[in-house]
């Protein structure tokens, strides 16, 4: 039976299939349980029989291949036997070779050990000989009353190198030398410390440099530098504690000290009568602390750092050729001696001062109440320490500056944490001293007198003068003064009268107006006095603090301006009402003077020829200035605010003068007199009429045009730049017939409404468009009635209108 048939039978039979690897466990269990045991045995027997038959068939079919493979197995066994023989021979040869090599190797190894021991012994003997020689040299160098510790330290340095990685224990020949060397080292270190201490106390850089060289040779430079810093910090801490010791500050001399002495462990507290003495002793102690104790320690450490920045010296005492300095041999975090000491000083001051303030109310009150004095002592100490080093040469200074730049800090910069706790309390009291008088002086309904303002000025002067010790403190105090001035302005603003009583300009001054003037004068007085204080302190007061105060004083001018502005607005409205009455005047009369003498007559016009409204206007401006504006003390500001009123007055007069119709030759002379008297009318509102600039030039330039023909007016060079084309066109309507209506008549407006329209339309283009509409209406009326010619003034006006439009367009393009 072929393989495929047997495989197919097994694969298709459910019972046989369970013996294959891919049969499912649940299904095979079900098939096994469905057959009886006898049936299962029968099936198994049949399957085994099939497999036996298949195996026999495979052996019969492939018996030649099986025989060939059995033959090759026998050959492989013989080959392996030959290889085993060869391996045994190789192992024998290797053993013989090993026997020949190992004996010479052992001899060589023994000789090598002997040679290394000879070298070690020779090196040890050389070191011992050199140590004995150096020991004798050190003994010679340390003899006498003035031993050379620098050279002795160099010898010790060499001894240290000779002893590195070598154990001399057990060498009797060196025991005496080693004992001597240890004694010499102790003596050299003692003398070097003494020399360093003396050099730092006497500020002798030569002694310090010699001691530094000794410690460098001894290899203990970093240790001694660290010790010096620790000692300096300890001394400063002790000095601070002594300066703030409450018991020492409270002690009195003689019998009083014995009587006031309390029990053991009990601190003596200053009595109320001795508070002044306590503060005096406290400030004396603090002054000694800053000016002597801390300053001297900083000077000593600074001098030590300057010596450390010098280049190393060799064994012969000559400077090394490389750029290595003593300071570079110290670890980086300990390299910045002055900066580290200054940081420690600030931390100690901050901690000890805070602790002293917490422990004693008297100390706290003294430091907070007289904070500027404490700050001055601290700043003076910083400035004195910063001046150290001015006598050093350029090389040392550059090295020190390089070290400071590497540390990223300015060595003796002011640390605000030391003074911040007392500064905040002092500033709190300072702002209270400044604001409380303002609150008190405005507690009533009346305007405060100048005496109370003078008291406030004295307080401002005192606070500002004591703050000059520090720019930061003066800047903060200036901000407090600024708050005071703003509060003063706020209180004044709350008192200002703003109803109609404050803006009337008909009767005499009302109580509300008098009150407002008093407030404005009080503000001006404060401004002037504070400004005088800052001017007197200009040389010592920082520009930033002065600017802060100046900005706050600007509020007083703004408030005065706010008081005067409504009053000036009422004056301006009254002036406009007076100028409107000019249209009630008769300007149509013909003059008795010939046309050739018109200019002469106009020059002779005086106040007797001017109109009644102009006389009223002159009287009104003179009265309002004297009654309402003159009481203000800040006349510079009042005049500055009055200039727009004067300009407005001239502008209104010129606009309405050009509207006058009909206008005869006699009326022109009368109107020219009004032009002259207008300068008199606005004179009280300004110091000089030249301050009115454009309006005044327009007033002076328009008056001569009253007597010129339209053709000559059109040729005038003042048109456009000085006198607007729209204003000249408006004046030419008076030269035309009654059919040529003025712009406001053409629009059926009143003169008052037309004046308001001019105010709301300052654009020259819009005004010319309105004039052009009136001219177009005249043209249509002439054509409607069948007329063939226009009035002689019409072509001139059309030409001026076109020129005005072109001029306005060019000005807009430039803008």
pLDDT tens, residue by residue, 392-431? 444 444 444 444 444 444 567 777 788 888 888 888 999 9
Q: Which neighbouring-strand residues pair with 59?
A: none
Residues 241 and 353 grouped into a single domain: yes
Collapsing DSSP states into helix, strand and coil, what is residue 172? Answer: helix
Kindly report the number of other CB atoms within 10 A of residue 752's CB atom: 13
Residue 265 lies in a domain: no
Q: Return d(Cα 770, Cα 767) in angstroms, integer.
A: 5
Q: For residue 298, with 0-12 CB atoms within 10 Å meaning exposed, 13-18 middle and 19 or more buried, which class applies?
A: buried
Domain count, the chain: 6
Residue 206 lies in a domain: no
Out of 8-12, 453-457, 459-463, 712-716, pick the least confident: 8-12
Q: Which token pair is 88?
A: 């045994």
Residues 43 and 96 grouped into a single domain: no
* pLDDT > 90 fraction of the chain, expressed in percent and rounded: 27
Report which of 699, 704, 665 is spatially closest to residue 681, judged by C-alpha positions: 699
Residues 399 and 279 grouped into a single domain: yes
* Angle at which helices 275-288 and 371-386 cross, to 10°: 10
Residue 513 lies in a domain: yes
Do 404 and 336 form a contact (C-beta atoms < 8 A)?
A: yes
pLDDT band with cut points at 50, 70 and 90 for residue 81: confident
Q: Return d(Cα 708, Cα 714) in angstroms, integer.
A: 10
| Residue where a domain stops, chosen among 673, 697, 721 | 697
Residues 172 and 306 grouped into a single domain: no
Do 741 and 778 form a contact (C-beta atoms < 8 A)?
A: yes
Residues 249 and 376 grouped into a single domain: yes
**pTM, to two decimals:** 0.70
Report which of 455, 491, 503, 486 is spatially closest to residue 556, judged by C-alpha positions: 486
Q: Return d(Cα 767, Cα 774) in angstroms, integer.
A: 11
Q: What is the mean pLDDT of residues 587-605?
A: 54
Residues 279 and 374 grouped into a single domain: yes
What are the backbone dihedrals phi and psi of residue 325, each rounded to the nearest 5 degrees, phi first? -115, 165
In 13-62, alpha helices (H): 14-17, 25-34, 37-61
CA angle 472, 473, 476 (to 5 degrees): 90
CA angle 665, 671, 676 (to 5 degrees): 130
pLDDT band with cut points at 50, 70 and 90 for residue 172: low
Residue 490 lies in a domain: yes
Residue 514: pLDDT over 90? yes
pLDDT band with cut points at 50, 70 and 90 for residue 317: very low
Out of 13-27, 52-66, 199-213, 751-765, pick the least confident: 13-27
Residue 521 lies in a domain: yes
Unique residue bearing structure tokens 């001219």 = 775
Residue 13 lies in a domain: yes
Report which of 217, 210, 215, 214 is spatially closest to residue 226, judged by C-alpha positions: 215
Q: Which token pair is 637?
A: 């500001």
Q: Which range marks the domain in which residue 168 is found? A: 67-183
pLDDT higher at 359 or 514: 514
Residues 235 and 352 grouped into a single domain: yes
Q: Return d(Cα 174, Cα 130) in angstroms, integer.
A: 11
Unique residue bearing structure tokens 């300057």 = 306
What per-residue confidence (pLDDT) applies to 29?
A: 64
| Residue where a domain stops, chosen among 168, 183, 198 | 183
Q: Return d(Cα 729, Cα 732) in angstroms, integer.
A: 5
DSSP 595: G
Report which of 649, 574, 553, 624 is spatially closest to residue 632, judged by C-alpha positions: 624
Residues 364 and 310 grouped into a single domain: yes
Residue 269 lies in a domain: no
Residues 603 and 480 grouped into a single domain: no
Report which of 546, 556, 568 is spatially closest to residue 520, judged by C-alpha positions: 556
| Residue where a domain stops, chosen among 646, 674, 697 | 697
Kindly report the number of other CB atoms within 10 A of residue 629's CB atom: 22
Do 599 and 530 form a contact (C-beta atoms < 8 A)?
A: no
Kindly report the number of other CB atoms within 10 A of residue 549's CB atom: 22
First and final C-alpha spacing in the chain: 117
Q: What is the mean pLDDT of residues 696-707?
A: 90
Residues 801 and 690 grouped into a single domain: no
Q: What is the mean pLDDT of residues 522-547?
A: 92
What per-residue confidence (pLDDT) applies to 586?
A: 85
Residues 341 and 426 grouped into a single domain: no
Report which of 54, 45, 41 is spatially closest to residue 5, judged by C-alpha positions: 54
Q: What is the mean pLDDT of residues 23-52?
A: 72
Q: Return d(Cα 19, Cα 32) in angstroms, integer.
A: 11
Residues 425 and 410 grouped into a single domain: no
DSSP 269: P
Do 374 and 290 form a contact (C-beta atoms < 8 A)?
A: no
Average pLDDT, the chain: 82
Do 11 and 17 form a contact (C-beta atoms < 8 A)?
A: yes
Q: What is the mean pLDDT of residues 723-732?
A: 90
Kindly report the number of other CB atoms within 10 A of residue 627's CB atom: 14
Residue 596 lies in a domain: yes
Do 299 and 388 form a contact (C-beta atoms < 8 A)?
A: yes
Q: Return d(Cα 723, Cα 698) in angstroms, integer.
A: 6
């Amino acid at each position: 039976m072929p393989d495929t048939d047997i495989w197919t039978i097994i694969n298709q039979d459910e019972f046989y299939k369970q013996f294959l690897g891919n049969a499912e466990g649940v299904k095979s269990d079900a098939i096994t349980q469905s057959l009886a045991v006898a049936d299962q045995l029968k099936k198994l027997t049949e399957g085994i029989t099939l497999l036996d038959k298949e195996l026999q068939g495979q052996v019969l079919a492939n018996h030649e291949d099986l025989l060939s493979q059995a033959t090759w197995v026998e050959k492989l066994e013989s080959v392996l036997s030959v290889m085993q023989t060869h391996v045994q021979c190789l192992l024998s040869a290797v053993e013989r070779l090993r026997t020949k090599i190992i004996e010479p190797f052992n001899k060589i190894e023994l000789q090598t050990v002997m040679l290394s021991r000879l070298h070690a012994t020779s090196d040890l003997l050389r070191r011992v000989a050199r140590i004995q020689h150096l020991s004798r040299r050190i003994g010679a160098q340390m003899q006498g009353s003035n031993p050379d510790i620098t050279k002795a330290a160099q010898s010790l340095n060499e001894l240290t190198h000779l002893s590195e990685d070598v154990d001399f224990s057990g060498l009797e020949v060196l025991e005496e030398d080693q004992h001597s060397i240890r004694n010499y080292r102790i003596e050299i270190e003692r003398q070097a410390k003494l020399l360093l201490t003396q050099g730092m106390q006497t500020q002798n850089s030569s002694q310090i440099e010699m001691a530094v060289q000794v410690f460098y040779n001894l290899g203990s430079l970093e240790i001694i530098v660290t010790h010096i810093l620790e000692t300096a910090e300890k001394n400063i801490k002790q000095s601070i504690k002594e300066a703030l010791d409450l018991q020492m500050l409270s002690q009195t001399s003689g019998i009083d000290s014995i009587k006031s002495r309390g029990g053991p462990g009990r601190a003596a507290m200053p009595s109320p009568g001795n508070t002044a003495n306590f503060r005096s002793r406290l400030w004396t102690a603090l002054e000694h602390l800053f000016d002597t104790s801390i300053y001297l320690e900083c000077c000593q450490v600074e001098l030590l750092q300057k010596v450390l920045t010098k280049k190393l010296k060799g064994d012969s005492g000559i400077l090394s050729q490389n750029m290595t300095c003593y300071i570079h041999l110290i670890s980086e975090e300990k390299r910045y001696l002055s900066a580290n000491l200054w940081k420690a000083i600030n931390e100690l001051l901050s901690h000890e001062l805070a602790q002293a303030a917490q422990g004693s109310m008297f100390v706290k009150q003294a430091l907070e109440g007289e904070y500027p004095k404490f700050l001055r002592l601290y700043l003076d100490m910083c400035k004195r320490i910063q001046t150290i080093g001015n006598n050093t040469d350029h090389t040392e200074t550059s090295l020190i500056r390089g070290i400071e730049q590497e540390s990223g800090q300015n060595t003796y910069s002011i640390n605000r944490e030391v003074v911040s706790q007392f500064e905040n309390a002092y500033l709190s009291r300072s702002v209270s001293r400044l604001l409380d008088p303002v609150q008190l002086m405005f507690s009533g309904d009346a305007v405060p007198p100048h005496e109370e303002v003078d008291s406030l000025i004295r307080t401002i002067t005192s606070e500002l003068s004591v703050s000059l010790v520090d720019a930061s403190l003066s800047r903060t105090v200036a901000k407090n003064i600024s708050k005071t001035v703003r509060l003063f302005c706020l209180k004044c603003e709350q008192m200002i009268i703003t109803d109609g009583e404050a803006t009337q300009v008909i009767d005499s001054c009302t109580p509300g107006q008098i009150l407002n003037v008093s407030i404005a004068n009080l503000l001006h007085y404060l401004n002037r006095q504070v400004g005088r204080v800052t001017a007197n302190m200009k040389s010592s007061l920082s520009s930033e603090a002065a600017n802060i105060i100046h900005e706050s004083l600007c509020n007083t001018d703004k408030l005065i301006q706010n008081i005067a502005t409504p009053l000036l607005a009422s004056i301006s409205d009254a002036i406009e009402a007076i100028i409107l009455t000019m249209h009630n005047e008769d300007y149509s009369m013909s003059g008795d003077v010939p046309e050739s003498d018109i200019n002469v007559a106009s020059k002779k016009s005086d106040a007797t020829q001017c109109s009644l409204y102009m006389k009223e206007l002159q009287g009104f401006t003179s009265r309002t200035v004297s009654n309402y504006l003159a009481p203000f003390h800040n006349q510079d500001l009042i005049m500055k605010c009055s200039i727009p009123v004067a300009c407005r007055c001239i502008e209104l007069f010129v606009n309405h003068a050009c509207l006058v119709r009909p206008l005869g030759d006699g009326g022109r002379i009368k109107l020219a007199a009004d032009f002259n008297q207008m300068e008199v009318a606005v004179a009280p509102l300004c110091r000089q009429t030249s301050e009115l600039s454009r309006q005044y030039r327009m007033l002076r330039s328009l008056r001569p045009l009253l007597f010129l023909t339209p053709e000559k007016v059109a040729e005038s060079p003042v048109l456009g730049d000085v006198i607007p084309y729209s204003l000249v066109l408006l004046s030419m309507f008076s030269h035309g017939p009654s059919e040529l209506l003025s712009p406001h008549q053409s629009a059926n407006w009143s003169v008052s409404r037309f004046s308001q329209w001019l105010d709301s339309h300052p654009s020259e283009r819009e005004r010319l468009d309105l004039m052009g509409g009136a001219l177009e209406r005249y043209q249509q009326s002439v054509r409607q009635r069948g007329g063939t010619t226009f009035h002689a003034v019409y072509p001139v006006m059309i030409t001026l209108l076109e020129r005005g439009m072109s001029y306005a367009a060019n000005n807009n393009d430039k803008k």
